Amino acid sequence: MIKIHVLVALIAALVLASSAGLAEEPKELTVFTAASLTGAFGEIGQIYTNQTNIKVAFNFDGSQALRTQIENGAYADVFVSANKKQMNAVKNIGLMNNSSIIIFTENKLSLIVPKDNPAKVGNLSDLAKPGLKIVIGTKDVPVGDYALQIISKLGNDSAYGPDYKAKVLANVISQETNVNYVVTKVALGEADVGFAYVSDVTEQLASKVDKIDIPDEYNIIAEYPLGILLESKYPAESKEFIDLVISDEGKAVLEKYGFTPVESEPAKSEVTASAAKAAA
């Protein structure tokens, strides 16, 4: 009788241990990602799933919206922002594993116009033409903040005239909460011109919109940081995802979508330990 009790106890212990082990295995990572990375990260996420059998659940939105969601308690393993401002806001209230944060890629802005370009926009001076319909991001979304900085730079250049900035801003008919909405309005012909990222003119959109380059002297280089949330249940797997993003394979995907990868060191090894401790 004693042996039967011991056997039952052993079986129960093994079942509990097995269940606990299974519970620790991630079924998916939750990655909050700036909307401008929708195409590139969709592809990188599929590569990660193919390599690890772990699904990636993306939340693509404006970086400021993602930050607000995280601040209000939304769960995420990894946060990917289109600027340092939104990342720093999450970091400064103690929600990020600071040692995991790296700048992994860069981007810059261009003007985009409908393919038939009915307003005949050909250069930066045309933005001040009366009646032009311009769409930009809100001042809180990175692409909007960058656009306003560019407009201010142009306004400070005497070559564009003292009223240039005021005239351009008077032509703004809409401010969108993420860059995908800006691109959509231009592609549909609801606006004559928009400020978007160079990477937004994908192969799929090339038949609907054209780019007009903004000279580097007026442009803004957008730096994209990413990092692991302290609440992540899967810090080791999140680090593997980040390592894929900054690997040669990940960089090739980013370049394909028009981004400029930067040299990034893999997140420090203490990420796993410290994040795991915080999640415990």
251: pLDDT confidence band, cut at 50, 70 and 90? very high
CA–CA dist 264, 249 (Å, integer): 14
Give percent above pLDDT 90 in the chain: 80
CA–CA dist 6, 4 (Å, integer): 5
- What residue ranges define each of the domains in the chain, with the CATH number in brackets? 2-106+223-279 (3.40.190.10), 108-221 (3.40.190.10)
DSSP string, 205-223: TTTTEEEEEPPTTT--EEE
DSSP string, 41-77: HHHHHHHHHHHHS-EEEEEEE-HHHHHHHHHTT---S
Report whether pLDDT(279) > 70.
no
Amino acid present at 135 = V
Record the tokens describing residue 214, joined without a space. Answer: 């903004």
Record the tokens describing residue 58, joined without a space. Answer: 């993306």
5: pLDDT confidence band, cut at 50, 70 and 90? low
Q: Residue 177, Cα to own-chain centre: how many angstroms?
A: 13
Report whether pLDDT(216) > 70.
yes
DSSP string, 166-190: HHHHHTEEEEESSHHHHHHHHHTTS
Q: Which of 210, 214, 191, 192 is nearest to 201 (CA)?
A: 210
Beta strands in the chain (DSSP E): 28-34, 55-61, 78-80, 102-114, 134-137, 172-176, 193-197, 209-213, 221-228, 260-261
What pLDDT is attached to residue 27?
83
CA–CA dist 22, 29 (Å, integer): 16
Mean pLDDT of all residues in 89-116: 97
CA–CA dist 30, 50 (Å, integer): 16
280: pLDDT confidence band, cut at 50, 70 and 90? very low
CA–CA dist 163, 119 (Å, integer): 21
CA–CA dist 266, 104 (Å, integer): 10
What residues pair up with 261 in beta bridges, in sequence order?
105
What pLDDT is attached to residue 69?
98
Give the sign of the dihedral formed by CA 256, CA 262, CA 123, CA 61: positive
